[in-house]
């Protein structure tokens, strides 16, 4: 009976069979449907250049790489582009006002167009250029859409890297909402994350925190290294809703006005604290933006917050960042309730967030690569004592500025020396032990001290532009970044009106901009650096003269083959004498002599004619005219073999 029963269980009518098959078909369809996102989630992409992080540097890097004709992908964990210039709400730019250059200049000009000129963005006293965060996002997105070689993948969070030996091959990212996972293979990968997560995952060597003087080679009075980083800030954008409107938020937990004692003269109780220098109104006008908005990023007993979350998981980071938000909420409530600005409330037309906060915090410091070059304060103070200035790829003029007031364990005695303007060496972008990786943002190889000036928005934009240039050229030349010619990177930047030398009087609008930049980068004609308040300077003096002695000495230092037996007079160099000396240089150099063999007798006339065509012919030659002759006939910029280290 049991056997018969078992047998009869599998004998079914044709009707029952059809029912069973329909069920099986339905189940199959459901399974196939469910399997679609699983298959899709394991998507693999291929590109030439991958930029991880669409922040300030990452956006510039991706756009520049695409402009050079290389297929490029940017992966960004938020729905915005621009990082601290947009998503973090730090929209009062610091530095480079007098050094408009490259993509920073393009960005500023775009703001001028939107708002109606420079005066319309000079709304607060901390900066010459202030704007609404969403405007920055819209500018960058409009640029990105124009680049056919550029793809931007929003809401993708970096997860890990894929390597083969010491070569970085790909990164894995996960969508922050639907959890889609993508693996992206690239020939060059740029770490433009806020905290250097890619280079850490790839095994690049880096530092976190302060180095002792013994380690950095600087003289800052720091006896021991530590892991202390700068305070971060979760900024807020407030809007003036008009007198009589009450936008006061509910009192935050743990609120006490004493936490903000000394933020301004209107609330200064504890006289043992450093006396504030501004009243409440001026404190707010520090970051006043167009359209009656205010950026709340106040360092003096305001909303800076200390935490070192660099080594944490993303979940842990998010948890501690909530505490930073609470710090800002308490400060906003203090402004509204204690100081009486009830009509100022969170701007409802800025960020696509439920709490109206910026999408990300403002990180002032991250992991710092141990690159081919470690850029320190000595290089900035005495650039001509080192050859690193010859390898510059981005310029900055901001003083050394650190935020450490919210961490009682941070050394508070550090006083940073005044510095001139500077350029950032290419070698700071390149790890020595990982191929296929370039770093940008605040992850570059600088000392902790120098991070206090290279971290500012315009400089970071230009670093990103240089990183994108380097990556694109590496792909085009089928080389690793460390093997790409520095001069070719610099020339590409110059072609895009990006300065490699920080000359305040020979910028991108100067008629001889490229010639001056190229000759200046060789050291034959040098600039003079001068610390100056919050906008430091380096002067080239293009309209000045030069002595025969100094010129001959500089040429000999550049290459001993030139003018080695020359006996110069200590008089101003005339145009005729300059032409004679340059002709001698051509004769003395085998490569140049071969180039001009058939034109040797005409060189003097050719040089005079060139200067006349450019309205540069004068009895005593100017430095700018000398640059034109050197650049055209000697081309020392490409004659010199410059290495990144």
- Specify whether the CB–CB gap between 267 and 260 falls below 8 A: yes
Spatial CB neighbours of 59, under 8 Å, sequence gap ≥ 6: 74, 81, 82, 83, 140, 144, 464
CA separation for the pair 429, 486 (Å, rounded)? 12
- 45, β-bridge pairs: 184
- CA 141 to the chain's CA centroid: 17
What would the two tokens of residue 132 be? 């609404």
Residue 21: C-alpha distances to residues 33, 40, 344 (Å): 18, 28, 67
Helix 603-613 to helix 575-588 angle (10° resolution) is: 130
| Class of the CATH domain delimited by 45-226+365-377+426-486 | alpha beta
Tokens of 395: 């310029």
Average the pLDDT over 178-184 and give the result. Answer: 95
Report the chain's C-alpha Rg in angstroms: 30
Q: Hey, what are 557's tokens?
A: 């230092």
Q: 44, 58 in Cβ contact below 8 A?
A: no
**pTM (global) more than 0.85:** yes
pLDDT tens digit sequence for 12-50: 333 343 343 444 444 443 333 333 333 344 799 999 999
Distance (Å, rounded) from C-alpha 149 to C-alpha 471? 14
Report how far apart, in Å, the C-alpha atoms of 112 and of each of 143, 351, 499 are. Answer: 16, 22, 21
Backbone dihedral angles phi then psi of residue 187, each to the nearest 5 degrees = -75, -30
140-159 per-position pLDDT tens digit: 999 999 999 999 999 999 99
| Cα separation, 398 vs 401, whole angstroms | 8
The confidence score (pLDDT) of residue 119 equals 97
Confidence of residue 645 (pLDDT cuts 50, 70, 90): low
pLDDT on residue 17: 34
635 - beta bridge partners? none
Q: Nearest-5° angle of CA 282, CA 287, CA 293?
A: 100
Q: How confident is the model at residue 598 (pLDDT cuts 50, 70, 90)?
A: confident
Using one digit for the tens of pLDDT, what is the confidence trace for 521-530?
999 999 999 9
Ranking 33-37, 406-410, 630-634 by mean pLDDT, the lowest is 33-37
**pLDDT (tens digit, 9 = 90+) per residue, 211-254?**
999 999 999 999 999 999 999 999 999 999 999 999 999 999 99
Gap between the Cα atoms of 306 and 80, Å rounded: 25
- Checking if the pLDDT of 541 tops 90, the result is yes
């Amino acid at each position: 009976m049991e056997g018969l029963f078992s047998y009869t269980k599998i004998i079914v009518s044709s009707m029952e069979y059809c029912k069973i098959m329909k069920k099986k078909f339905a189940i199959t369809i459901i399974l196939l449907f469910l399997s679609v996102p699983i298959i899709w989630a394991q998507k693999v992409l291929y590109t030439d250049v991958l930029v991880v992080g669409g922040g300030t540097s990452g956006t510039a890097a991706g756009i520049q790489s695409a402009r050079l004709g290389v297929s490029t992908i940017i992966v960004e964990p938020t729905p915005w582009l621009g990082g601290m210039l947009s998503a973090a709400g730090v929209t009062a730019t610091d530095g480079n006002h007098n050094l408009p250059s490259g993509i920073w200049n393009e960005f500023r000009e775009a703001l001028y167009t939107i708002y109606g000129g420079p005066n319309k963005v000079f709304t607060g006293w901390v900066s010459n250029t202030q704007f609404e965060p969403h405007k920055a996002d819209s500018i960058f997105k409009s640029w990105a859409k124009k680049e056919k070689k550029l793809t931007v993948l929003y809401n993708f969070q970096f997860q890990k890297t894929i390597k083969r030996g010491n070569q970085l091959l790909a990164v894995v990212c996960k969508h922050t909402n639907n959890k889609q996972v993508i693996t992206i293979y690239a020939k060059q990968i740029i770490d433009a994350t806020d905290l250097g997560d890619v280079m850490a995952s790839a095994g690049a060597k880096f530092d976190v925190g302060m180095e002792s003087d013994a380690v950095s080679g600087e003289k800052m009075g720091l006896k021991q290294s530590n892991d202390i980083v700068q305070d971060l800030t979760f900024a807020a954008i407030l809007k003036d809703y008009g007198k009589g409107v009450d936008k006061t938020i509910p009192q935050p937990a743990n609120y006490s006005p004493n936490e903000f004692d000394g933020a301004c003269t209107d609330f200064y109780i504890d006289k043992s604290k450093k006396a504030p220098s501004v009243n409440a109104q001026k404190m707010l006008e520090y970051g006043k933006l167009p359209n009656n908005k205010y950026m709340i990023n106040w360092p003096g007993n305001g909303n800076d917050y200390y935490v070192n979350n660099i080594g944490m998981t993303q979940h842990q980071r998010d948890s501690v960042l909530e505490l930073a938000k609470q710090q800002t909420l308490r400060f906003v409530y203090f402004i509204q309730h204690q100081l009486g600005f009830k009509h100022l409330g969170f701007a409802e037309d800025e960020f696509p967030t439920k709490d109206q906060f910026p999408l990300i915090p403002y990180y002032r410091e991250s992991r710092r690569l141990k690159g081919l070059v470690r850029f320190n304060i000595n290089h900035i103070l005495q650039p001509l004592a080192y050859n690193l200035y010859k390898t510059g790829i981005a310029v900055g003029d901001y003083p050394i500025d650190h935020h450490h007031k919210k961490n009682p364990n941070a050394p508070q005695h550090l006083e940073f020396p005044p510095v001139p303007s500077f350029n950032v060496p290419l070698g700071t972008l390149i790890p020595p032990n990982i191929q296929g990786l370039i770093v940008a943002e605040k992850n570059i190889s600088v000392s902790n001290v120098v991070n206090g000036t290279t971290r500012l928005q315009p400089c970071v934009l230009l670093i990103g532009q240089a990183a994108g240039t380097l990556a694109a050229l590496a792909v085009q030349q089928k080389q690793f970044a460390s093997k790409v010619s520095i001069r070719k990177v610099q020339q590409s930047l110059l072609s895009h009106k990006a300065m490699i030398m920080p000359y305040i009087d020979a910028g991108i609008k100067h008629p001889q901009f490229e010639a001056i930049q190229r000759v200046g980068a060789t050291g034959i004609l040098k600039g003079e650096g001068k610390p100056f308040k919050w906008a430091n300077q380096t002067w080239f003096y293009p309209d000045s003269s030069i002595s025969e002695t100094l010129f001959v000495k500089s040429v000999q230092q550049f290459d001993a083959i030139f003018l080695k037996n020359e006996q110069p007079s200590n008089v101003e160099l005339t145009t005729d004498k300059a032409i004679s000396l340059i002709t001698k240089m051509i004769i003395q150099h085998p490569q140049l002599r071969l180039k001009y063999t058939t034109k040797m007798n005409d060189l003097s006339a050719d040089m005079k004619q060139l200067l006349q065509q450019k309205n540069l012919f004068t009895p005593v030659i100017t430095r700018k005219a000398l640059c034109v002759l050197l650049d055209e006939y000697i081309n020392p910029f490409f004659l010199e073999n410059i290495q990144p280290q």
